[in-house]
Structure 1
Amino acid sequence: MANLFDEEQGQYLRLNALKYLEKPPEVQREDDPFITNGSLAITYILVETIEQYKTGQGLKFQPSYVHQVFRQTNEIYGYKDLKITIHVTALGLKPYIQISYSEQTEDADDLNESFNKVYEAGYLTNEDQFIKTLEEEQNQEPLGDLIEQYEDFKIYKCQTATTNGFIQFKPFLQAFLLVLIDGVQYPGDENEWVYLILYENRQFIGLTTVCELNIAWDKQRYRLSQMLFLPQYQRKGHGSRMLRTVYKLELEDQKCLQITLEDPSEDFQVMRDITDSKILYEHFKDIIPNQVINSVQDIVDIPKDKLFEIMKKNKLHAYQIKRAYSIYLYAFINKKSSKLMTDFAKYLLREHQKPYVRKKNILVKFEDGSSMDPKQLHLLELKEREDRNINAEESLGEEFCLFELIATKLRKDKVI
C-alpha cells in the first residue's frame, strides 16, 4: 500500500474537512433573458399571521431543486424578469402563488401545469382566500401526538390511519419534499409510514419519515427514509434531535428489532456519525481508554460479544456501530506518525472493507453455457481484488477528512 499520509496530513485533513459543510453555488443563465433559473426565481415565504403577511415578514427561502417540477436543467423557459412568490401558511402549509413577468414568448412553459404537479390538492391564487385561511389556522394546533419537546420546538407523530386530518395535510407536506430533496420519492399511503413533524411554536420547520417494515408476524424493522429541514434550520442540531427521537421510538417498541436507513446523503451521514458516536461512546471506552494511541497493537476491533451486546441494546446495525468505533479510534490515534496512520488505513481495509468497496460477483458465462476455466477465473479475481484495493485507498483519503470533521466536533462538545 502506498503511504497515504505525510507530515502535513493533519493540516490537510482540517482544511479539506470544511468542504463537506459547503453548499455548491447556484448558477444563473445570463445569455438569454427568457431563460430563468427556477431556484432563483421562486421564493417561499412561511407566514403565521395576517400581520406577517401584510408587512412582508415571514420565513423566506428558495427551493433547492426544481428540476422535478420544471425542466431537468432547473430552468424555466419563456418569461423575462420572472418572479414567483409562494406564501405558505406556517401551520397547514396552504400555498398562495403569485407570478409576475415583463414579457412572455408564445412557447413559454405552462407554469400552472407545473404547479399542479407540485400541489395535487390545489393552491390559492386569491389573496382574500389566503387571508381567510390564515385566520382559520389561528384556532388550530399541529396535527398528531406531541412526543418530544425542547426549547420552543415540538415534534409531533402522525400516521395516515390514526391522525385525523392528516390525509388532507399530507399533499402539502409532500410539496416541500419535492423542492428540497433531490430525486425524492413520496412515502406511500400504507399505515406503516410514520411522519415526525417539527414545529417552532406553531411554524413548520421540518420532518422525518419512517417506514415500519414487518419482517415476522410479531417483529419489525424501522427504516428511516427521509429527513428534511427548512434551510434556515439546517445544521442547528435539529437533525440529531430528530434522529434521537427515532431511536427513542424504536427502543420503546418491543416489536422493533433494528433501525436501518435508505441511502443517506453525505451531510446526513456526518450528522448520524456524530450522534451515534455520542450515544455509543460509553461502550467504546470500555474497550480502549481515552488516551493517545501510539502503537498498532492498540488498534483492536470490537470483540464479537461486545458488538452483539451493543446491537441488542441500541438496535443499531453492526456496520454503523463499527463505523462509529472506527471514528473513535481515529480520534485518539497519533496522527503525527505517518506509519501508524497507514497501519490504521490497513486496519480499516482489512476489518471493514465491505463498507468502502462493493465487491462484484465474478460469474463469467459464454453463449454456449460454458464458463472460464479455474486459472482464468483466478486471474480475473486477482485483478478485481487489485482494483478494489486501489479504489479503497483512494476513498480513504476523503473518509479521513470526514473522520477529522467528526472527531473535532466530538472534542468541541467534550464527548472525548
Structure 2
Amino acid sequence: MADQEDWSTDANEALEISIVQAGSGSPKTLSTFHPQFTYPIFGEEERIFGYQGLRVNLRFAAHDLRPNIEVLYDKRFKAVGDTKATNIEETLKEWMPEVSFEKVGAFNSHIQNDSSARHWKPPGELLESYTSKGRKFEIWSGELTDPAIRQIIERIQILISFFIEGGTPLQLDDLDWTLSRWRVYFIYEKLSDLSSPNASHYSIVGYSTSYRFVTYIPHQRLTPHLLHDFNLPPDKPIAPNSLPHRARISQFLILPSHHSHGHGTHLYNAMVQTFLADPTCVEITVEDPNEAFDDLRDYCDYPRLLANNSLSQISLTTSLPPHLTQKRPGIRVPTSKLLPLPLLEHIRKKNKIAPRQFARLVEMHLLSLISPHARQAGTARLTQRARASDPDDRMWYYWRLLVKQRIYKKNRDVLMQLERGERVDKVEEAVGEQAGDYERLLRNMEKEGGVGGNGERRRERGKRKNVVLLDDDDEEDEDEDEDEEVDGGVERATKRVRLDE
C-alpha cells in the first residue's frame, strides 16, 4: 500500500490550466491556475494513480479557446496484473474535443502562425463594453445554434466541471430547436499590448449560459404581443424565442485569474437587462445557485430595485387592530394586514424576479427600515413587542414573525419531529441567522456603494450547518402549536435554512 501511495498524485495539483496567445518566438502565457474540483473526471478522491512527478498541462488559446493537453511525468508505474497507471488522455477524451490531443509542437505552431487571430472577434452580438482597473472588457452574446459559439463551448466547458460543484457539460448534439433555447454570454478582455503580429486582441475572462423554459400563461394574463392564433399542427415551425418563457441562468463562471474585478456583477447585470428587454421573458430564475452566486445575485438585484424605486413602495404595517395583537392561543396575524400583497406581486412581475428571490429582497429591505436599536434584541422572542409604544420595536417583532412563519412552513416536516421546545429554539436560531446574514449583505452593500461582487465571494460565517431543502409547493401551515405564527406570509421559499435535521 505504501508503494502504491508513492504513485498517487493529487489531480487538482497536477493539472495546470493556462490561457495563451501568440508571443515573441513562442506562445505567451497570459494566466495560469489550477482546478477547484476534479472528482467528476478522476473520481471522488481526486487522485491520479501511476505516476511520479506528474504534470498535466491544459492550455487554451485566449481567443477561440483551441485546447491542448500535454501529459508529463518523471516515472510511470509498470502494470502488475490488473493494477496499472491511469490512462489520462483516454480519460480526458470523454470531456475534450479531438483537437485537444494534437502534438504540443503542432499546437504551438498553430498559435504562433494563425494570422486570422489578430482580426478575430467573439461570435454573437456585443452587449456591453466596460473598464475595470484600467483594463477594457466586452460582453458578447449569441445562441447555441451559432456554430462558432458551439465550438467555443465544446472546447471550454470542461471548466464547468473543474469550478462549479455538480456542474455538467451541455449536450451539444441536440436538435436546433433545443439548442436555440440556449443563449451564451462571453466576457472577453480587449487587449492592446500585443507581443506578436498574430496575437488576438481578445482573451477569455468567463462565460454564462441561460435556457428558455417555455411556460404556460393563462389567456387573460397574456399581453397583446404574445396573443396570436395558430393551427395545430402549425403552418410553419414555432420559434422558441416567440413563446413566453422563464429564463434560467444555468452555468456562470469567471476564471480565477480575473476575480476581484467586478466581472460577475457586469455579466449578471448584462444578462438581466437582456431578459428585462425581452417581452417573451416572464421570469428570471437560477439553476441551483451556490452561496457565492446567492450573494452576487443579492448584490445586483437589491441595488437595482432600489434604483428603480420598487422597494421604496414597500413597508411593513406596525399598527394593527387590538384583537390581532392580543396574546391568546389561536390568535394569528393575517399577512395581508402587514404587507400590501397585491402590490408585492405587481412589483415582482414587473421586475421579472422569481418568488424566492423577490421575497428575500423584500425581507432584506424591510429589515433595513428598522432602526439598529430595535434590531439589537437579536433572537430574543420579544413576545410583547406587538403592543410596544416604539414603532421600530413593533416592526422588528412583525418582521421576525414573517421570517419565522416562512421557516416554520418550509421546514414543517422536519420540525414536527422535534419536541415543541426544541422546535421553537430551532426556529428562533434560524431567524437570528437569517437576520445576521441580511445584516452582512446590507453592510457590504453600504460599504461598496451598492456595487456587487464577482461571483467568487464566500460567506463570512464559513461552512453551512446541515441543510434542509425546501419545496416550492409546500401546503399552507395548519399547525397552531406556535402562537407567534403569521397566516399567509411572503411567498419566500428560500433554498436553505440552517436547521439541524
Amino acid at match of 1:177: I
The Cα shift of 1:385 comes to: 7.9
Aligned pairs (5 A) from 1:328-343: 328-337=365-374, 338-339=376-377, 342=380
Question: Which residue pairs with 1:365 in the alignment?
Answer: none
Amino acid at match of 1:350: L
Q: 1:173 to 1:98 in 2, by over 3 A?
A: closer
* CA distance, structure 1, for counterparts of residue 98 and residue 205 of structure 2: 21
In the alignment, structure 1 residue 319 sits paired with structure 2 residue 356:
yes
Cα distance per residue 1:257-315 (max 9 Å; x no partner): 111111110010011111111011232234359xxxxxxx9x99542232123113211
In the alignment, structure 1 residue 347 sits paired with structure 2 residue 399:
yes
* CA distance, structure 2, for counterparts of residue 154 and residue 355 of structure 1: 41
In our comparison, the structure showing a higher alpha carbon Rg is 2
* CA distance, structure 1, for counterparts of residue 347 and residue 244 of structure 2: 19
Cα RMSD between the aligned structures?
Answer: 3.2
In the alignment, structure 1 residue 198 sits paired with structure 2 residue 233:
no
Amino acid at match of 2:92: F
Question: Which residue pairs with 1:97 in the alignment?
Answer: 69
TM-score by length of 1: 0.77
Q: 1:414 to 1:117 in 2, by over 3 A?
A: same
Q: Which of residues 240, 250, 256 in structure 2 aligns to 1:225?
A: 250
Q: Which of residues 3, 6, 10 in structure 2 aligns to 1:37?
A: 10
Q: Is the Cα contact below 8 Å between 1:33 and 1:81 reproduced in 2?
A: no
Q: Which of residues 281, 285, 297 in structure 1 aligns to 2:312?
A: 285
The SS at the match of 1:277 is: helix
* CA distance, structure 2, for counterparts of residue 324 and residue 330 of structure 1: 10
Question: Which residue pairs with 1:308 in the alignment?
Answer: 345
Question: Which residue pairs with 2:263 in the alignment?
Answer: 238
Q: Is the Cα contact below 8 Å between 1:349 and 1:392 reproduced in 2?
A: no
* CA distance, structure 1, for counterparts of residue 208 and residue 315 of structure 2: 35
Q: Is the Cα contact below 8 Å between 2:40 and 2:161 reproduced in 1?
A: yes
Q: 1:321 to 1:144 in 2, by over 3 A?
A: same
* CA distance, structure 2, for counterparts of residue 242 and residue 307 of structure 1: 27
Question: Which residue pairs with 1:11 in the alignment?
Answer: none
The Cα shift of 1:348 comes to: 4.2
Question: Which residue pairs with 2:221 in the alignment?
Answer: none
Question: Which residue pairs with 1:119 in the alignment?
Answer: 96
Identity of aligned residues (%): 23
* CA distance, structure 2, for counterparts of residue 73 and residue 285 of structure 1: 50
* CA distance, structure 2, for counterparts of residue 232 and residue 214 of structure 1: 36
Q: Is the Cα contact below 8 Å between 1:187 and 1:193 reproduced in 2?
A: no
Cα distance per residue 1:315-369 (max 9 Å; x no partner): 112331221122223345344554366454873453574468634669xxxxxxx
Size of the aligned set, in residue pairs, is 361
Question: Which residue pairs with 1:12 in the alignment?
Answer: none
Can you give the 5+ residue segments of structure 2 that lack an aligned partner in the other structure? 191-201, 217-241, 317-324, 326-334, 383-395, 452-501
TM-score by length of 2: 0.65
Q: Is the Cα contact below 8 Å between 1:118 and 1:175 reproduced in 2?
A: yes
Aligned pairs (5 A) from 1:6-405: 32-51=5-24, 53-54=26-27, 57-105=29-77, 106=79, 107-134=84-111, 135-136=113-114, 137-151=117-131, 152-161=136-145, 163-188=146-171, 189=174, 190=178, 191-201=180-190, 202-216=202-216, 218-281=243-306, 282-288=309-315, 302-337=339-374, 338-339=376-377, 342=380, 344=396, 347-348=399-400, 350-351=402-403, 353-354=405-406, 358-359=410-411, 389-405=424-440
The SS at the match of 2:165 is: coil
Can you give the 5+ residue segments of structure 1 that lack an aligned partner in the other structure? 1-28, 290-296, 363-379
Question: Which residue pairs with 1:22 in the alignment?
Answer: none
